[in-house]
Amino acid sequence: MTRNLSLVIQILLLVFASQCSAKVAATLDDVTGTENLLKVTVPTVNEQFLRPAGAPRRLGIGTLPDIGSTVNDIRANIVLNENGGSVFDVTKHGAKADGETDDAQAFMTTWIAACRNTVGPAKFLIPQGTYLVGPVTFAGPCKSFPITLENQGTVKATTDISEYSSPEWFSIEDITGFILTGSGVFDGQGVTVWPYNDCKKNRFCQLLPISIKFSRLNHTIVDGLTSVNSMGFHTSVFYCYNFTATNMKIIAPHNSPNTDGMHLSTSKLVTITNSVIGTGDDCVSIGHSTENIVVTNVTCGPGHGLSVGSLGKYSKEKSVYNVLVKNCTIFNATNGARIKTWASRISGLASGIIFEDIVMYNVKNPIIIDQTYGTKKKKVSNWKISDVHFKNIRGTSTTNVAVLLECSELLPCEGVELRDINLTYGGTNLRNTTIVSSCSNAKIATFGVQNPPPCVV
């Protein structure tokens, strides 16, 4: 009961916090006190670029479902929940939990009942057991507030791709006040379908299903998610506002294709913290049309690092503002702190990005800006990168180029800060242990320790 009450209170605090976010957005200061991450204004040079669209259905507290006006009302609802009045158990709605019968219909029936619940909070419960589940959609808006999905079992995806008319396994959408928790496992069983991924050869390839897609959610907590061997992305956060993910374990082999741990797009106020992510692609990818993103205390490896991008592939993409990646460890990865944009005609801006207090172990490209991503032809990127800070980054590089800044010839990077960089060679070629920096079209300022020596600009 204490845990559920704590989650409800967290949701309430998130709701209230979002109402005054415009007033307090400037309070997340850089630890040195010299910078302000969440800027209220855009530099003059960036005014030509559009800011991201507003948050989806930014609801005021008065428009939320009635949860009672006192803590006692909330406590009463939680007691009822613990006594079973508002717990919706999938096994009580037809789920077999035998690991062979497709329980998708039972899951859908249970969700509808929980979503329609009118007695305060509701819990969608997956108890211990093994469940085989095809694609399902958990859609709102719901009368229950908040509504919790608690997984205590092992949920395995069906692997017949023809069943997936939409490229998601679990689609969770159109909900205010959603909580995902539990010590169970979501197993995408991707091993059986990864051979069908031909995206390295076919740029128009069909992506395999995302394990869990969060779409158009307001005020969300994901606490304790375990996801293994997703077919495509493990999770996707799309068009969400005020989203917190913590204590996640996301795991797939280093050679699993397109298994990003958490991909963000068209979302604001997203926090990812205290998690372990190891996949065959980006541990976290911060995509287009995102603003006020914080990634802290994440251990990443294997994978392709903690990335902003890729940006500039599709015409409807908007810019990225105010990203903080801090207190993270990256190991056995192809990239570390990365910003990547396509060399295309699509224009936009990535600005106000801080990578700070990051430890690298055996990382191929510890610090990298890549504005020729996805092309071997001589093309230029129309995406502007500015106000970027790499601070207190240390560890080992498996290549001799530890700092690689390849910016756009058309729109050079501006305001790139390198402060206290200490990277040494940790590769296998002991005949050449010298590491260097390589830069093009970048305006750089350096401070403190610089190993490798900075580019001369």
Q: Is 55 or 261 the better-scoring residue by pLDDT?
A: 261
Q: What interhelical angle do 2-19 and 71-82 show, nearest 10?
A: 140
Kindly report the average pLDDT of the chain as a whole number.
Answer: 85
Distance CA 196, CA 209 (A): 12
The reported pLDDT for the residue numbered 207 is 85
The reported pLDDT for the residue numbered 376 is 67
The reported pLDDT for the residue numbered 59 is 33
Q: What average pLDDT does this structure show over 93-114? A: 98
Q: What average pLDDT does this structure show over 103-107? A: 98
Q: Is 269 or 15 the better-scoring residue by pLDDT?
A: 269
- 162 pLDDT above the threshold of 50: yes
Location of structure tokens 């280093």: 254
Residues 85, 47: contact at Cβ < 8 Å?
no
Q: pLDDT of 15-49, one tens digit each?
A: 444 443 433 333 333 333 333 332 322 222 223 32
- 52 pLDDT above the threshold of 70: no
Q: pLDDT of 364-405, one tens digit each?
A: 999 999 999 977 667 899 999 999 999 999 999 999 999 999
Distance CA 66, CA 119 (A): 10
The reported pLDDT for the residue numbered 2 is 45
The reported pLDDT for the residue numbered 457 is 62
Distance CA 146, CA 64 (A): 10
Q: pLDDT of 304-340, one tens digit each?
A: 999 999 999 998 999 999 999 999 999 999 999 999 9
Is 219 one of the catalytic residues?
no
The reported pLDDT for the residue numbered 6 is 53
Q: pLDDT of 54-70, one tens digit each?
A: 444 433 323 333 333 32
The reported pLDDT for the residue numbered 428 is 93
The contacts of residue 8 (CB under 8 Å, 6+ apart) are 74, 78, 121, 146
- 268 pLDDT above the threshold of 90: yes
**Which CATH entry fits the domain spanning 2-451: 3.20.20.140, 3.40.50.1450, 2.40.128.20, 2.160.20.10?**
2.160.20.10
The model's confidence at residue 209, banded by pLDDT at 50, 70 and 90, is: very high
- 161 pLDDT above the threshold of 80: yes
Q: pLDDT of 167-208, one tens digit each?
A: 999 999 999 999 999 999 999 999 999 998 888 788 777 789
Residues 376, 404: contact at Cβ < 8 Å?
no
Distance CA 378, CA 343 (A): 9
The reported pLDDT for the residue numbered 16 is 40
Q: What average pLDDT does this structure show over 114-138? A: 96
The reported pLDDT for the residue numbered 455 is 92
The reported pLDDT for the residue numbered 408 is 96
The model's confidence at residue 100, banded by pLDDT at 50, 70 and 90, is: very high
Q: pLDDT of 418-456, one tens digit each?
A: 999 999 999 999 899 999 999 999 999 999 999 999 997
**Given 93, 263, 288, 304, the catalytic residue:** 304
